[in-house]
Amino acid sequence: MTLPKNFQFSQSSLQDYVDCPRRFQLRYIQRRAWPALDTAPALESELFMQRGAQFHHLVHQYFLGIPTEKLARQIEGDEMLEGWWQNFTDLQGFQNLEDLRARPEISLSAPLGEFRLMAKYDVVALTPSSPAHLPEGKGENFTIYDWKTSRKRPKREWLEKKLQTRVYPYLLTRAGAQLNGGQPIPPEQIEMIYWFTDFPDQPARFSYSEEQFTTAEAYLGGLIAEINNLGDDLAPLTKDEFRCNYCPYRSLCSRGNKAGLLDEMDEFNESEIGFELELDFEGITEVEY
């Protein structure tokens, strides 16, 4: 397999590989355009994705200092978004932006093996309070927030295994020195929080440690090396055929012809939608001048 020159790995491309090596090969190496539906009904699924993207956009605007009332007016009449927004603005801790040194939509990347690994964070917030496991007053706390708009709240064990949970804190340690006065951020000062728009009181919190960092480095480096060393043969297809219902390549793999139904998604796949949410705000072609 030859990866394109200067290919950058992300949590979602690595997750693709872990879920199904064939999907990684089709999507990132062969760059196969295959515009089949992944979820049906298409319109419902699209609206769900769009709302998620709108919510992310609203929060980004909020952190830039646009008054909450002005933002609320932009979504008037959309009950679901209004509900999510209400849950967000009710959150303690985000109300005083002056105290919270939050960096919304920040991208970080670092070399790993022969490639780069990159991540785009919803928000990285710096707070003076220390995590519970740190002695009082020992440095700042760097909290990674990730907004999830999935309709079901995934189990902690599932979240723990997600590549995102491994990549984000790892990369903040490797590449986040700029947020810490030029010094690498010690893993113990990092926490990752998944916050669910529909379950505002049930965030999933993950603390981080030196040991987790070392394990993640070995694991992610190994994964990237493994991908780089794959031959030109067809990569193996996933054994979990349920995944194929929600994968556009199913006709190429002879794994059925119908897109999976949004309503029939199990917790695993629905969370997947929330995780892969990437409505492209740049999608409207920029006219270059």
Q: Which residues of the chain form contacts with other proteins (CB under 8 A)?
A: 4-6, 8, 31-37, 40, 42-43, 46, 57, 60-61, 64-67, 70-71, 73-74, 76, 106-116, 118, 174-175, 177-178, 182, 248, 250-252, 254, 257-259, 281-289
Q: Which burial class, exposed, middle or buried, applies to 39 when counting CB atoms under 10 A from its CB (0-12, 13-18, 19+)?
A: buried
CA 71 to chain centre: 24
Assign 3-state DSSP to the chain and report helix, strand, coil percentages, each to 5: 40, 20, 40
DSSP annotation of 67 reads: -
Closest separation in Å from C-beta 249 to ligand SF4: 4
Residue of the chain from 3, 144, 250, 269 that contacts ligand SF4 (CB under 6 A):
250
- Report how far residue 62's alpha carbon sits from residue 90's, in angstroms, rounded to the nearest whole number: 13
Closest separation in Å from C-beta 154 to other proteins: 27
* Residue 28 is a binding residue for ligand SF4 (CB under 6 A): no
- Report how far residue 170's alpha carbon sits from residue 214's, in angstroms, rounded to the nearest whole number: 9
Q: For residues 196 and 243, which CB has a smaller minimum distance to other proteins in the complex?
A: 243
* Residue 22 is a binding residue for ligand SF4 (CB under 6 A): yes
Q: Which residue has the tokens 């987790």?
A: 212
6 touches which of other proteins, ligand SF4, none (CB within 5 to 8 A by kind)?
other proteins
Residue of the chain from 1, 18, 126, 253 that contacts ligand SF4 (CB under 6 A):
253
Q: What are phi and psi of 102, to 5 degrees?
A: -100, 140
Question: Which residues sit at the interface with ligand SF4, rule CB under 6 A?
Answer: 20, 22-23, 26, 237-238, 243-244, 247, 249-250, 253, 255
